Amino acid sequence: MEFYLQPTDSSGVYKYVIVYGKGEQRQERNYMLKEKDPEKGIYTLDENNSILLDCKVVENKIYFLFEISDSLLTTFITFHKNDLIFEIVTTNTKQKIVSGGQDKDTPEVFSYPINVVQRALLIKQ
């Protein structure tokens, strides 16, 4: 896996590239990260195919939360000086567990069992 986040010629727009696999299995995903309200850490990831994902930047971390085909995905990218940690957590939204809500003082709560956790440590080269 490779990850690139680079400035472009346009102010507030960054080239955001994720590469999976090597050789013939190599898949390069070219996206654009765009500032929406940088003072509040609000950005949009444009996948260049009509998909737009809102994200939040807090200190050295980018957070994404989105749903696709009954899967809820949470992505965290934590940047350090010489590496980054790329994490994805997924659940199936059809498997939600409902609890609470038995009286007016207890809200109904939805819990989702975590199906997959992926974590990659990428070293800066």
pTM score of the predicted model = 0.88
pLDDT in tens, 95-123: 999 999 999 999 999 999 999 999 999 99
Q: How many CB atoms lie within 10 A of CB 45?
A: 20
**pLDDT at position 122:** 94
125 pLDDT band, cuts 50/70/90, is: confident
Question: Could you give the percent of the chain with pLDDT greater than 70?
Answer: 100
Mapped onto helix, strand or coil, the DSSP state of residue 115 is: coil
**pLDDT at position 5:** 93
For the chain, the structural domain boundaries read 1-51, 59-125
pLDDT in tens, 8-60: 999 999 999 999 999 999 999 999 999 999 999 999 999 999 999 999 999 99
Paired with 43 in beta bridges are: 35, 55
**pLDDT at position 84:** 96
Residue 125, CA distances (Å) to 3, 8, 19, 25, 87 in order: 11, 20, 15, 21, 20
